[in-house]
Structure 1
Amino acid sequence: DDYIVFYSKIALNNSNEGVWLRDPNEDEIDYIAYSTTQEGYSYSFDGNSFLWTRYKTPGAENKFDEKKEYTNKIYLNEILPNPSGEEGEGEYIEIYNPTGENIGLANWTLRDASSTGKYVLPENTIVESKKYLVIYRKNFKFALNNSGEEKVYLIDPNGKTVSLATYSGSDEDASYNFNGKKWRWSRFLTPGEKNKFNNLPQVKIKIDKNVYKNVYADFEVKASDLDKDELKFVWDFGDNHRSYKQGTRHKYLKTGNYKASIKVSDGSEEVIGKFKVEVKKFPHQDIKIVGLSPNPSGKDSDFEWIDIKNESDGKVNLKSWSVATGWKILYNHPIYEKLIIEAGEIERLTRDMCRFTLNNKRAKIELRYPDGEVAYDLEYDKKDESVKDDEIYEEIDGKWKWTTAQNNAEPTLANAENTGDTKDTEEEIIKILDEFLGKQSLDPDKKDFKILLISFMGNIGLLDSIINNQEIVSGALAVKHDGLTYVFTRNNYLEEHYVIKFLKSLGFKINSLVNKIILIFI
């Protein structure tokens, strides 16, 4: 056989290189490639495959060492890439021998992902049975990466990779350990000893059942750690947005399916929970405003209200909806409390649920869905006058009108259904105890109210002075309503003021006394 040797000025790379043989027509005849090299070795064909050999034979038959079988039972066991202090001294790589015999490691190789990071173990290197061999950076020289992807190889003298560890980034003083099945990070450094692991955080994910476009959704993770380690959280919502809070809110701007995750770290290891989020368009139920009170008696900011009717087929919770008010500029006020309205029903929105404000002259009002779209809008303008005390703006027979308040503590009656049956609607609206009948309601601005003590024959009684400028409770009256208005009924009573009763009783006692005196003298 003849061999042709080419000495060229072409530089061959020490890693990830390919060599082609082409004919004069540039057609490919042969091709070989290699990913890594061994210094001083040639890459030679043995009739079946290319192998690295320490024999260099230009112009002659390739020569190889007689192949020796090496164990594949030993493995990389612990790696410390980022020790505190001087990394050149503290980094280490540990090899474990689980077999029942000592194994010589002469000419075995440790290398990393770089093209130059290689360390050939010297002669007489032995890892004893069931023991650990720790090699420090002062011996293997190459640096282990603290960030980005890194790979560490254990290669036998035949060039076969026996063990491989791959990691991405490392925390300070956290070692990368093999537990017999997989690699895990640990804050326990155990060079030359059995690996020790901490307890992984226990994680439970809770998110909203329904997630809508342009609506904030709640994300929460419940996590515990038996080691009492401080936990850190990283949410990945799958739309290039993240959060670092244990409980957070997120708004998706587009509908679709997203692959999301939560990463919980205890300082040495991470637990990653993956989940899918389906983002839908918010359903726009038929909800409308049917009444409002801009100027209630007392402090407006405490007693203003808006009546809202659910005209959809199912119940609606208005939490996360909002009310926008103003005139030229509308200011949005979220509803931050639950307000559930059954189908066809009316509920009252008050300022303890939503901090809206209603102007006493004119206002534009929008009831908004959680996604910001307008569910219902209206406006009023009193021009040169103001809304009167307790005046209500309500929709009656499809038209908005100002009315005098009938009952400013209940949802607008004009929007309730009129069944025409008043028999079952009769109710006692005001219940006044008998002892209060005939008593006066004291107006604090009127100072001439007074109480008189009357003594007669050893009995002392109270007599309220009846003064013209005080209102008097003269009786209670039951009413009924026909669905739209209240109607007075006759099944009530009037009772004499207790002062009149007292005077009549006093007159009776005086008359009896006089009669007794007359009988004595007769």
Structure 2
Amino acid sequence: MLVIAHNDYTGAIPKDIAYSTQASVTADNTIILYSDNGHTVVDLVGMGSASKAEGSAAPTPDASMSVERKGGVDTNNNAADFTLLTTPTPHQSSTGSPESNNENQGSGNNAGTTPIPQGTALSGILITFSEVLPNPVGDDATGEWIELVNLGDQEVNLADWAVEDASGKHYTITQGNAIASTTIAPYGYFVLPRNATDISLNNTGTETLRLLHIDEQTIVSISYTGPVQEGSAWARNSDGSYEWTTTPTPSASNLITAPQSVDTKSQNHPVIRPDAPLDDGAQSYASSSPPKILINELLPNPIGDDTEEEWIELKNENDDEASLSGFVLSDASGASYTFTAQSDQIPPHGLLLVPRAQTKIVLNNDGDTIFLKYQGHTLTQIQYGKNQEGTSFARDDQGNYTWTTSPTPGKPNVISLPAEIEEESDEEEEPFNAQTAVASPQDNEEARDTNEQPKPIVSPKDVRKVEIKDIRSLPRNTKVATEGVVIVPSGVFGRTSMYLNGMQIYSVAVQFPDCATGDLVEVQGYVSMSGNETRITVPKTGWVKKIGKGEPPEPLLLTAATLSDEQEGSLVQVEGELIEKKSTTLWFDDDTGEVRITLKDTTGLHPEDFTAGEHYTVKGVLSETSAGYRVLPRGKDDVASQGAVQGASTQKEMSTSDVQYTRPLYYVVTALALIAIALGLGIKKWREHKGISTP
């Protein structure tokens, strides 16, 4: 056994090596054992809120306590391998075991999850603090909240669990008073607003929160130190550490966007090296300011071989050349790449392309989270969703990440939103009319030389808070914020869209939150167009949030003659006699004109469910394409048949195949007539040229 102790140590066991630092070597810190003169890590243990640990961090010992390895076992998980002892035993073999000393697990400054002992009633339950908002923008009394997360794969009933703050204020979780349910879903979130808990979170000094089980056992405790910037949340990162973020995300995955003027960690984490001088200047993970390097762009789904063409691009935001020594790239799976002193330098405000062949990090095509860290501290964390082939995830001028169809490896980013493809391949194309076709400014813009470099989207720095009804009057690419009631949840018409009453919400970049019809949702994004329909494109995770419950709207009763832009995106109801079917498109006659109904495969509605000549009532969303208005029913509950129309004409009862050939026959006859006229004019000109008189 080797004892390394402080110079002031006066215990009975003599020390073998002394050090002089005044910093605690255990409170929320990492101790690393090196060999080969510091080149090889033999072992390490992180405690409390330490950002570097094997697996999860071990608990932090309180005063006069020690942290001890359990029976010499090393599973590369500090939380599982170490326990706390009230009576330290230097120069003795480890006596800790998974079942021993549980009552001695002090909270200290623990900012991670205290391990729940195996073999107890709580074994396998993984509930911890996800995020807290101590100083919201606005009134603290109505805006503060505490969020829990379930890291396990089983639903947990939190009834009679409790949350307690540093002052001893105690709240027992019960249903009612802003708490609709006490259960937390697997991998789900549970928000406790201040108006339910009556816990006032400190904006200055140190605050500590504890989560208690029914039997008052402390499950987890976290601490943060103020002053807290307004609008910043104390959030759990994917590695289990906590950081300040300027993007609170209640009931959603945490998004770390670090405040510019605040150290994102509340504590420093000294690393003690036995082979290096130990004094008051011991190196701290947070003691040095790294150069400002960020993830600028990444290409997860290139055109071609992913293994050869994927890349991540870094940007140096400094005025000086930057070394990447000490920086680490990693993804959600834990795969990582560490830059060494021999790694490339990045010139001032320059870019560095890091290919997959170098990092061995696989960028998942269906979504991933990428981290850039410096000595354990997350500098950049970006999360993206499923994407189109050939699109990159890039940082715009406002610091937001969005998809672009113009990857620019090694060059400044160019933001051009992915093409919004119209799903009308099965619909009839309107005949071209040379006399009425007029090129619009938009058409001219889209008809420019395709080799011309697209211009970046310029959007105002401030989000415009607007009502849904006013969005159609705004220019495209205007950044807006609005809220509304869900009438079509994501997945009903496809993964990339949902509808609030009056507006389509679209994104290929993010996964929408789980919502039901009637939920109240807040949205931020850019005004865009699909065909002739205005919609909001959401480029960033966290910009769609469920904020409560609303009242599902009653459908607007419309006819073919009253369909207009004012009802676009709204829930409507039409009725009429089915007169024509073509693939998934139906036409109804309501005596004022024809109404087009389009059936989506995801709704369970099929053309064979409808019979020509019958009268139907259909509810759905009013959408608009280049071919005009259409109604999109959400499912079978939106369709009702009133039976066959009495006295329906033979024409209206004809088969689908008869109807399909009516319009093509008209075009054929018209074409033959034009050919005959042209032939007659040609013969006349020929006879005049030859001097042949016409009888």
Larger radius of gyration: 1
Q: TM-score, normalised by structure 1?
A: 0.39
TM-score normalised by length of structure 2: 0.31
